[in-house]
C-alpha cells in the first residue's frame, strides 16, 4: 500500500471509530446475551391528570439512568462465609415508604436472622439514599451495600443483605467484604434496564385544532391517548413525553393553537 493510500485509510478509520461509539451508547443495556422477552419500546402508561406526575418507559436518551429490570421482580443470591449465611436480595424501589414495606416483609420471611441490613438509592438529580447496619458495627454493612449500588450506577434500587450468624466472628474487614460481596453478587445477577423519566399532561382545546395538536405531539416525540369530547366541541387529551421536553411541548401546543389550549390539573382548574 502506498503512503498516500495508507494516509486515506487511516483517516477514514479515525472518522469511523469516532462516529460509531455515539450510536452504540444508545443501545439498551442488558447484562445477559441470551434472548429476552423484554420489549424496549413497550409503553406502560399510568394515566393521570396531574401534570407533574412522572412515569417511566424503557428507552435511552441523554437523561437516561439504569435500574433493576421489572417493577415487581425480586432477585436473590446466597453466600456462606465462615458458617454465616449472607442472603442478597435486590429489587426496584422508587421511594422510602415502599422500601420500608419490603424490608418488613423480608424480616417476616427471615425471623431467625441476626441482621437485616440494606441500602436504598432513589431518584436522580437529586437522588436520595438510606441505609442501615442493623446492629452490625457502624460502616461494616450499610456502606458496602450502598457502595455496590453506586458502583453499578443504579438508581431506584433497594438491596438487602440478610445474615444468619454462624458462630464465627468475621471482624470489621471481613464484614465489609462479606456484605459488599453479597450485595455485588445479587446486583450482578439482576438484569438491568435503561429508563428515562416521562411526564403525562392533559390538555383541553377546541376540536378544530385536533390536527395541529397531534402534529405538535409528534414533533416532540410524544404519544397521545385517552381522547374525550364534550358537547361544546372541545376535546381533552392525555399526552406523554420525556419530562425534559414538557415545556417544549407546551410552547409548541400554544403556537399550534394560537394560544387556545388549556392544561388540566388535579382540581380541574386550567392554566
- Tell me what the mean pLDDT of segment 118-138 comes to: 92
Name the 3-class secondary structure at 252.
helix
Q: Is 191 exposed, middle or buried (0-12, 13-18, 19+ CB in 10 A)?
A: middle
**What is 73-109 written as a DSSP string?**
-EEEEEEEETTEEEEEEEEE--SHHHHHHHHHHHHHH
Q: What is the pLDDT of residues 211-252, one digit of tens each?
A: 999 999 999 999 999 999 988 889 999 999 888 899 999 999
What's the confidence (pLDDT) of residue 25? 28
Distance between CA 179 and CA 87 in Å, rounded? 9
User: What are 163's strand-pairing partners?
Assistant: 86, 115
113 Cβ neighbours under 8 A, 6+ residues apart: 107, 162, 163, 164
What's the confidence (pLDDT) of residue 63? 62
Q: Please choose, from the candidates 103, 79, 89, 75, the residue with its C-alpha nearest in 3D space to the C-alpha of residue 178.
A: 79
Handedness of CA 38, 42, 48, 49 (dihedral sign): positive
Confidence tier at 79 by pLDDT (50, 70, 90): very high
Confidence tier at 202 by pLDDT (50, 70, 90): very high
- pLDDT beyond 50 at 14: no
Instruction: Please give the DSSP secondary-structure letter assigned to residue 156.
Output: S
Distance between CA 7 and CA 38 in Å, rounded? 45
What's the confidence (pLDDT) of residue 236? 93
Q: For the whole prediction, is pTM greater than 0.75?
A: no
What's the confidence (pLDDT) of residue 92? 96
- Which is more confident, 190 or 33? 190
For helices 171-189 and 142-151, the axis angle rounded to 10 degrees is 40
What's the confidence (pLDDT) of residue 199? 86
Q: What is the pLDDT of residues 17-76, one digit of tens each?
A: 333 332 222 223 333 223 322 222 222 222 222 332 333 333 333 467 899 999 899 999
Buried b (16+ CB within 10 A) or exposed e, 217-229: beebebebeeeee
Query: Cβ–Cβ contacts within 10 Å for residue 9, how many?
Result: 11
What's the confidence (pLDDT) of residue 231? 86
What's the confidence (pLDDT) of residue 64? 76
Distance between CA 84 and CA 118 in Å, rounded? 17
Confidence tier at 4 by pLDDT (50, 70, 90): very low
Name the 3-class secondary structure at 69.
coil
Homologous superfamily (CATH) of 70-190 is Impact, N-terminal domain (3.30.230.30)
Confidence tier at 1 by pLDDT (50, 70, 90): low
Distance between CA 226 and CA 215 in Å, rounded? 17
Indicate the domain borders of the chain.
70-190, 197-264
Architecture of domain 197-264: 2-Layer Sandwich (3.30)
User: What are 239's strand-pairing partners?
Assistant: 201, 224
CA 114 remoteness from chain centre? 32
Q: What is the pLDDT of residues 130-165, one digit of tens each?
A: 999 999 999 999 999 999 999 999 999 999 999 999
Amino acid at each position: 500500500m502506498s503512503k498516500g493510500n495508507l494516509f486515506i485509510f487511516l483517516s477514514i478509520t479515525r472518522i469511523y471509530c469516532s462516529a460509531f461509539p455515539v450510536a452504540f451508547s444508545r443501545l439498551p443495556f442488558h447484562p445477559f446475551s441470551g434472548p429476552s422477552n423484554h420489549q424496549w419500546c413497550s409503553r406502560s402508561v399510568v394515566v393521570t391528570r396531574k401534570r407533574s406526575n412522572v412515569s417511566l418507559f424503557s428507552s435511552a436518551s441523554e437523561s437516561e439512568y439504569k435500574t433493576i429490570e421489572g417493577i415487581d421482580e425480586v432477585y436473590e443470591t446466597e453466600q456462606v462465609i465462615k458458617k454465616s449465611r449472607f442472603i442478597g436480595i435486590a429489587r426496584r424501589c422508587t421511594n422510602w415508604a415502599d422500601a420500608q414495606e419490603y424490608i418488613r416483609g423480608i424480616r417476616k420471611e427471615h425471623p431467625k436472622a441476626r441482621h437485616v441490613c440494606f441500602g436504598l438509592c432513589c431518584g436522580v438529580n437529586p437522588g436520595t439514599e438510606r441505609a442501615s447496619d442493623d446492629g452490625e458495627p457502624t460502616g461494616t454493612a450499610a456502606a458496602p451495600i450502598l457502595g455496590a449500588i453506586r458502583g453499578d450506577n443504579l438508581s431506584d434500587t433497594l438491596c438487602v443483605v440478610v445474615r444468619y450468624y454462624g458462630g464465627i466472628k468475621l471482624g470489621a474487614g471481613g464484614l465489609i467484604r462479606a456484605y459488599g460481596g453479597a450485595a455485588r453478587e445479587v446486583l450482578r445477577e439482576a438484569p438491568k434496564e435503561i429508563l428515562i423519566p416521562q411526564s403525562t399532561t392533559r390538555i383541553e382545546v377546541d376540536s378544530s385544532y385536533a390536527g395541529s395538536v397531534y402534529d405538535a405531539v409528534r414533533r416532540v416525540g410524544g404519544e397521545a391517548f385517552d381522547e374525550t369530547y364534550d358537547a361544546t366541541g372541545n376535546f381533552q387529551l392525555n399526552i406523554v413525553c420525556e419530562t425534559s421536553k414538557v415545556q417544549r411541548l407546551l410552547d409548541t401546543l400554544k403556537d399550534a393553537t394560537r394560544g387556545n389550549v388549556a392544561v388540566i390539573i388535579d382540581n380541574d382548574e386550567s392554566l
